[in-house]
Structure 1
Amino acid sequence: MDRLVCEKLTSMTDAQQNHTPDEVREAVEDRVRDIQEVPAVEVIVTTAVHLMSAAAVKCGLSEGPDAEEQKDLDEARKLIIALAGLVTAAAPEVGSQHAGPLRDGLRSLQLAFREASPYPDAPGKGPGEKYTGPVN
């Protein structure tokens, strides 16, 4: 189901290529009807997973020989901050069965960021720690 949500959210502009305005409007209305069937918790969790995946790559945690080349700690910081805000804000709404694993993943990324950083942030000053508190 997560893949379906992503496809629906990211393919809205695909319908605009080589189509009349009426065809585009109809395609958008169809997709809106489809996305309205997806529970909010699935959209939130899917978004969080995408942020986690992107942050992991930017922290240099991807597999393969080019993992170090993909590392970009400035980008990772932004993604982790966004993830921390989302997880913190959404936790009461998504329930503990979803919030717990999201918090665990966020904490792991915060620790990975600290480990990957040549000049680690002071405790409580790392990415997202404004929302989560210090991570050790």
Structure 2
Amino acid sequence: MPVEHPSDAVRDIADVNAVEVINTVAVHLMSAAAVKVGLADDPAAQTDLDEARKLISSLAGLVVASAPEIGDQHARALRDGLRSLQLAFREASSIPDAVGKGPGEKLTGPVT
């Protein structure tokens, strides 16, 4: 059956390079963390800092571990997004973590 629209095409995971997979996973983690930190349309209903902490810490692990493999141009954008989420978490938290103890800071170093 021919594909009618290019957007209907399905890609074989074997054809996707590692940098693209890493970036895609990172964007999904960033998006989910942003919602849980309260940066979405309905922060009162969607904010969950416990979930945000887990997502941000997982993102930090991915970014730190993959940076040497994906190169600076890709890693820089991921680091910037991660840092923004770490700062948003700090701002959203009513009981701030000590510097260096926030989500992912064990891996990234202190974010202020």
| TM-score w.r.t. length of structure 2 | 0.89
User: Residues 64-114 of structure 1, C-alpha deviation per residue, up to 9 Å, x if partnerless?
Assistant: 2x2221000000000000000000000000111100010000000000000
Shift of 1:51: 0.1
Q: Which residue number in structure 1 is paired with residue 16 of structure 2?
A: 38
Matched-pair identity in %: 74
Query: How many residues are matched?
Result: 105
Q: Which residue number in structure 2 is paired with residue 86 of structure 1?
A: 62
Higher RCO (CA 8 Å, separation ≥ 6 residues): 2
Structure 2: state its 5+ residue gaps: 1-6
More helix per residue: 1 or 2?
Answer: 1
Shift of 1:135: 0.2
Q: Which residue number in structure 1 is paired with residue 107 of structure 2?
A: 131
Superposed structure 1 runs of 4+ greater than 2 Å apart: none
| One-letter amino acid of the structure 2 residue matched with residue 97 of structure 1 | Q
Alpha-carbon separation, structure 1, partners of 2:72 and 2:65: 13
Q: RMSD in angstroms over aligned alpha carbons? A: 1.6
| One-letter amino acid of the structure 2 residue matched with residue 81 of structure 1 | S
Alignment of 1:47-58 (within 5 A): 47-58=25-36
1:61 aligns with 2:54: no
| TM-score w.r.t. length of structure 1 | 0.74
Larger radius of gyration: 1
| One-letter amino acid of the structure 2 residue matched with residue 38 of structure 1 | V
Q: Which residue number in structure 2 is paired with residue 118 of structure 1?
A: 94
Q: Which residue number in structure 2 is paired with residue 100 of structure 1?
A: 76
Alignment of 1:6-45 (within 5 A): 34-45=12-23
